[in-house]
Amino acid sequence: MLTASRVKDQNAINALANEIEGHVLRLLSPYQGFKIRKISGNGGNVAKLQTEFDRYCLNHGYNQPGQPLWVCLHASFTSLIVSIRNTAAPISADLYVGRFNEEAGVLTHLGNGTTRRTDYTLAEVEQALAGANQLEEQARALRSTVHAFTRH
pLDDT at 151 over 80: no
State if pTM tops 0.75: yes
Residue type, 16: L
Find the angle CA(138)-CA(141)-CA(142) to the nearest 5 degrees: 85
How far apart are the C-alpha atoms of 50 and 41, rounded to whole Å? 16
Give 4-35 pLDDT, tens digit per residue: 999 999 999 999 999 999 999 999 999 999 99
Rounded to 5 degrees, φ, ψ at 94 are: -120, 130
Residues 6+ apart with CB under 8 A from 50: 44, 73
Q: What is the mean pLDDT of residues 40-59?
A: 94
Give 127-138 pLDDT, tens digit per residue: 999 999 999 999
pLDDT at 145: 94
| Residue 118 DSSP SS3 | coil
